[in-house]
Structure 1
């Protein structure tokens, strides 16, 4: 009976297993092999050994794209967590119509990434954009945003905080798990609002904050769609928005240097893995799991 159940289980899950192996497993293994070769998709791969990885060490464009990625990540991740936590705190208040507010704050998350990027491109337009128009009404001359090398990355950082709805829901769930009795006891003992938030709410939120931090770091290195749509895949102005994901795309599908692009992908994977492990080691030990 156990063998029969196992057999039928494999039969019904075979399409999913085949799909994962074919569309995920094979590309991963193939990209690792291609990273050691010179491959252009129109000719057979030629073995190069570690040449692609060595070339990355002296590729100034690669280092510039990595710096742009880190810059956006170091600002967008804390900003996204702060915005999500702030919205969750507001939605956790007992007010009339809270369901409507939750829906409104969550709506940007379900907007397609391309449509959202196009929308923000119009908002950041230096001449006709809504943001500069609003600034002009109060006597402020707005910057060039995506057309200015000094303001392009801040504009992308603001765009990244637009879709924090999923994270907001997670934070809201964490807030509702904080025992009300502890809040009442702390208030009875004379703890103020900020003190209760620091010593009662934050410890119970720490697993959710760790999740937000780790997923934000991983997602930050995969930042691609907004900058691709906003700049047309160029990384302009003056390369200020050329992030690592976009540089990988350019090498693979514009320059047809698939082997080099695969090496970039695996270097990014190694960086993300190292940062994730370091985050768990440095921050994970400070997480409070309800008494453990």
Structure 2
């Protein structure tokens, strides 16, 4: 009996050592990522939150001023208010159009027709073009004598100066963003192609039209991807930077100014890093609120197959 007890105790001790050894090796292998995350992500985020309560200019010592930066944003900074409004307008224009267009394109490209792979490739290619290259290209397309206005002139329409007009500059950015709609389209296309054919066959036997099948079968089945595209679309659009920085620098008369380009100018041109950090945290709070609202509403319209099971 004593020998059995000793053997059991020895086995338990060896098992503890094995678990401890596995845990130690786990931390060894994860340490490069963990160190990188702490140095390049966590500590910068924490530091930006701290300096948002200071008037730090990156050269002098930190001087805490409380919530003065946050109070100034909405009370005294007209450019920030304009940038915030433009960001909201651009987001509410861009995201719905992007969702509808990408869904329509994905559905049309889901049909198994001859040459469809070529069309899928062509529609997706703009999504992989770098943002700087796209901005330089569309700066020419949207210029007063650019390709878009020349195309409109064929139909007798006099196009505006897209990037010089306070009225049309934001729609011009929407036009540029829609050129790269292939990124969201490819996700929806993959989701549509994963819908079981037996559902469509059953609907056809019941006499359902293609429109009815699309609305009652396709849409509910791909709502998780629609949900993902909606959240990431809002997050990405509200952080628009490259187009504004490369094409208009916020002009004309701040008509295309948005939060992130204004934040960048405040931080690295005016050297008001504390004030810029407060803008970043306000933007973070706004994006967080929108994301939580969408997440909260998802239970009403997002369908997960596992829930049925």
Q: Place the TM-score, normalised by the shorter chain, in its bin.
A: over 0.9
Which residue number in structure 1 is paired with residue 301 of structure 2? 286
2:186 to 160, 169, 174: 169
In the TM superposition, residue 210 of structure 1 has moved relative to its aligned partner by 0.8
Which residue number in structure 1 is paired with residue 25 of structure 2? 8
| Cα 1:270–1:226 shift into 2, 3 Å | same
Count of aligned pairs between the two proteins: 289
Render the CA deviation track for 1:203-222: whole Å, top value 9, x for unaligned: 10111111111111111111
1:116 correspondence with 2:131: no
2:106 to 88, 106, 123: 88
Deviation larger for 14-23 or 253-262: 14-23
* In structure 2, C-alpha distance between the alignment counterparts of 1:199 and 1:91, rounded to whole Å: 19
Let me know the Cα RMSD of the aligned residues.
1.3
In the TM superposition, residue 12 of structure 1 has moved relative to its aligned partner by 2.9
* In structure 2, C-alpha distance between the alignment counterparts of 1:125 and 1:264, rounded to whole Å: 31
1:182-261 alignment runs, 5 A limit? 182-231=199-248, 234-261=249-276
* In structure 2, C-alpha distance between the alignment counterparts of 1:176 and 1:225, rounded to whole Å: 33
In the TM superposition, residue 239 of structure 1 has moved relative to its aligned partner by 0.7
2:50 to 14, 23, 33: 33
In the TM superposition, residue 99 of structure 1 has moved relative to its aligned partner by 2.0
CA radius of gyration, larger in: 2
1:59-138 alignment runs, 5 A limit? 59-127=77-145, 129-138=146-155
1:264 correspondence with 2:279: yes
Render the CA deviation track for 1:123-149: whole Å, top value 9, x for unaligned: 10112x111111112221111001111
* In structure 1, C-alpha distance between the alignment counterparts of 2:215 and 2:278, rounded to whole Å: 44
In the TM superposition, residue 291 of structure 1 has moved relative to its aligned partner by 6.0
1:150 correspondence with 2:152: no
Whether contact under 8 Å (1:89, 1:172) holds in the other structure is: yes
SS of the counterpart of 2:66? Answer: coil
In the TM superposition, residue 187 of structure 1 has moved relative to its aligned partner by 2.0
* In structure 1, C-alpha distance between the alignment counterparts of 2:151 and 2:246, rounded to whole Å: 24
Q: What is the TM-score when the length of structure 1 is the normalising length? A: 0.95
| Cα 1:284–1:123 shift into 2, 3 Å | farther
Render the CA deviation track for 1:41-88: whole Å, top value 9, x for unaligned: 111111001111111121221111111001010011111112211221
Whether contact under 8 Å (1:210, 1:284) holds in the other structure is: no
In the TM superposition, residue 6 of structure 1 has moved relative to its aligned partner by 2.8
Which residue number in structure 2 is paired with residue 276 of structure 1? 291
In the TM superposition, residue 282 of structure 1 has moved relative to its aligned partner by 2.0
| Cα 1:73–1:284 shift into 2, 3 Å | farther
